[in-house]
Structure 1
Amino acid sequence: MSMFTIFNVSGSAVSSQAQRLNVVASNLANADAVAGPDGETYKSRHIMFQTVPMGNEGSAGVKVQDIKESDAPGRREYAPHHPAADGEGYVTHSNVNPVEEMVNMISASRSYQNNVEVMNTAKTLLLKTLQMGQ
């Protein structure tokens, strides 16, 4: 495997984890959202990753295959005086679980950091290799 392939593999992971962090941020921003005028609430989204071949050397990277909406029902809260309450007095909130999203954010952040560290280590090794020839 070429040292430059490491940059492709880690770069694909960094890009995918950045998209994952964006989705998590969107979920957390809408955690307390209620149904809009159309009756639809925000539904949490989750990233689906896919392995992709990188080059001719058998190495594999990752890319975002799809972003799926959760089918879980929204949280219902009895609040008859709320402007968004339905006929029974319930307000439907988004189905985002903030604790789950925080764990997801920490995991994505760690994966991002690890891949950046892999690229920094590869860069350092390449620079040391170039210095050996001097």
Structure 2
Amino acid sequence: MSFLSSFDISASGMSAQRMRMDIAAENIANIDTTRTASGGPYRRKDVVLENYGSGSFEEALRNAANGKGFASRNVGVRVSGIIEDDREFKRVYDPDHPDADAQGYVNMPNVDLLKETVDSMSATRSYEANVTALNAMKLMAQKALEIGK
């Protein structure tokens, strides 16, 4: 693995975690949205992440043992898609609500505030871990440049 690919890995991780935080914030912002452009209440969204470029762990280990490093400099994680949660909506009895059905029930978004809070905290911690790794690599590069003085 080349030294610069370490920066790419951390940068891709930070970008992916930022997207997770953005989606969690969007879900929280729409926790009471009962009417969307597509009709019906807001559906919770989730981010799907995938690794790319590195191949399998076995392949990476074999390449490292042979001194080849990674075959590709483009390694890391990326957002492969944003999916909607297909769980059922919460039904709340509120006959005065403008979106209530004939029985007085309103379909509310399938967003759970506790889950969104945990997801955003997890994304924040992962983002911080990538920043820490990036700073460690930066410090190693600075120390390597000082060796030649």
- Asked if these proteins are the same fold (TM beyond 0.5), I'd say yes
1:35 Cα deviation after fit: 3.2
Match of 1:85 in 2: 100
Q: Any conservation in 2 of the 1:47–1:67 contact (CA below 8 Å)? A: yes
5+ unaligned residues in a row in structure 1: which ranges? none
3-state SS of paired residue (1:49): strand
Mark the CA change 1:125 to 1:36 in structure 2 (over 3 Å): closer, same or farther.
closer
3-state SS of paired residue (1:63): strand
CA–CA distance in 1 between the matches of 2:79 and 2:90?
28
Match of 2:2 in 1: 2
3-state SS of paired residue (1:91): strand
Mark the CA change 1:107 to 1:130 in structure 2 (over 3 Å): closer, same or farther.
same
Percent identical among aligned pairs is: 35
> Does the alignment pair 1:43 with 2:40?
no
1:27 Cα deviation after fit: 0.4
1:39 Cα deviation after fit: 4.3
Mark the CA change 1:122 to 1:37 in structure 2 (over 3 Å): closer, same or farther.
closer
CA–CA distance in 1 between the matches of 2:82 and 2:37?
25
3-state SS of paired residue (2:43): coil
Mark the CA change 1:37 to 1:109 in structure 2 (over 3 Å): closer, same or farther.
closer
Q: Any conservation in 1 of the 2:8–2:74 contact (CA below 8 Å)? A: no
5+ unaligned residues in a row in structure 2: which ranges? 55-69
Aligned residues: 134
What's the Cα RMSD here? Answer: 1.9
TM-score between the two structures when normalised by the length of structure 1: 0.92
Mapping for residues 17-96 of structure 1, pairs under 5 Å: 17-36=17-36, 39-53=39-53, 56-57=71-72, 60-96=75-111
- TM superposition outliers: structure 1 runs of 4+ over 2 Å: 35-39, 54-60
Mapping for residues 95-134 of structure 1, pairs under 5 Å: 95-134=110-149
